[in-house]
Amino acid sequence: MTKKTPDEPSFLTEGILKASLIKAEALRLGFSACGLAPAEPVDKVHAERRLQWISEGRHADMQYLERNMDKRLDPRLLVEGARTIVSVALNYYPAEKLSGWALSRYVYGQDYHEVMKARLRQLAEHIPPKEGYETRVFVDTAPLDERYWAWRCGLGWQGRSGQLILPKGGTYFFLGEIVLPYEADIYDTPIENRCGTCHACVDACPGQALRGDGTLDANRCLSYLTIENRGDLPPGTGQKMGTCFYGCDRCAEVCPWNRFAKPTEVEEFRPSKQLLQMTREDWEQLTVEQYRAIFKGSAVKRAKFEGLKRNIKALARKK
The pLDDT value recorded for residue 112 is: 97
Nearest-Å Rg of the Cα atoms of the chain is: 20
End-to-end C-alpha distance for the chain, whole angstroms: 49
Question: Which residues are bridge partners to 37 per DSSP?
Answer: 85
CB 286 within 8 A of CB 309: yes
Sign of the alpha-carbon dihedral angle for 231, 234, 235, 238: negative
Give the count of domains, the chain: 1
| Interatomic CA distance for residues 174 and 176, integer angstroms | 7
pLDDT score of 91: 99
From the list 61, 140, 203, 282, the catalytic residue is 140
- Partnered with residue 138 across adjacent β-strands are 177
The answer to whether residues 59 and 65 touch, using CB atoms and an 8 Å cutoff, is yes
140 tagged catalytic: yes
In this prediction, residue 8 carries a pLDDT of: 56
Distance CA 228, CA 5 (A): 43
Question: Within a 10 A sphere around the Cβ of 143, how many other Cβ atoms?
Answer: 17
Q: How many residues does the chain have?
A: 319
**Beta strands at 183-184 and 244-246: parallel, antiparallel or unpaired:** unpaired
pLDDT in tens, 26-83: 999 999 999 999 999 999 999 999 999 999 999 999 999 999 999 999 999 999 999 9
Domain that holds residue 287: 1-319
Residues of the chain falling short of pLDDT 70: 1-9, 319
Per-residue pLDDT at 299 = 95
Give the list of residues 6+ apart from residue 193 with CB closer than 8 angstroms, or none.
157, 158, 159
Q: How far apart are CA 241 and CA 223, in angstroms?
A: 10
Total-model pTM: 0.94
Cβ count within 10 A of residue 115 = 22
Give the count of beta carbons closer than 10 Å to the beta carbon of residue 10.
12
8 A C-beta contact, residue 201 and residue 209: no
115-151 pLDDT, tens digit each: 999 999 999 999 999 999 999 999 998 999 999 999 9
